[in-house]
């Protein structure tokens, strides 16, 4: 099971390790993703947090599916209902494609705020439905 990263540095380390495992150089990843190697380097060093748009661009070259990478970055939460402990597969809730597209065009601060608001609303809705 993949855990959500708690800070920029942790996510950067995972992305760098995956890039090395693929194997790709920073320049090769930049060429395949269309993201500058200097920006990718800052992400790997934990100096920058990637936006949803950047995560989308690097997911395929790094061998991740988008949901998996969004979950690692904390944009999605892992779905545990319906998955038994014996299952080793990763399962994540789908982010509505329209919402994902719109969020991808926003700065990371806005993306985090919107995801936080959506999570809060979902928690409230769960609390109301239990009453």
Q: Which pLDDT tens digits describe the chain residue by residue (131 residues)? A: 344 444 567 889 889 999 998 999 999 999 999 999 999 999 999 999 998 899 999 999 998 888 888 888 887 766 544 433 323 222 334 566 667 777 777 777 777 777 777 777 777 877 776 66
The overall pTM is greater than 0.75? no
- Which residues on adjacent β-strands are paired with residue 92? 78
Domains and CATH numbers, the chain: 8-130 (1.10.260.40)
- Kind and range of the H or E run holding 42: helix 37-44
Could you say which DSSP state residue 82 is in?
A: T
Q: Is 62 exposed, middle or buried (0-12, 13-18, 19+ CB in 10 A)?
A: buried
Contact 29, 62 (CB under 8 A): yes
Contact 66, 55 (CB under 8 A): yes
């Amino acid at each position: 099971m993949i855990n959500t990263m708690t800070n920029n540095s942790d996510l950067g380390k995972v992305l760098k390790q995956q890039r090395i495992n693929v194997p790709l150089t920073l320049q090769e990843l930049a060429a395949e993703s269309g993201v500058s190697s200097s920006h990718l380097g800052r992400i790997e060093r934990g100096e920058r947090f990637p936006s949803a748009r950047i995560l989308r661009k690097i997911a395929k070259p790094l061998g991740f599916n988008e949901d998996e990478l969004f979950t690692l970055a904390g944009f999605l939460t892992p779905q545990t209902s319906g998955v038994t402990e014996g299952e080793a597969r990763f399962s994540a809730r789908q982010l509505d494609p329209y919402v994902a597209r719109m969020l991808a065009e926003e700065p990371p601060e806005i993306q985090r705020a919107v995801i936080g608001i959506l999570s809060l609303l979902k928690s409230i809705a769960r609390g109301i439905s239990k009453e």
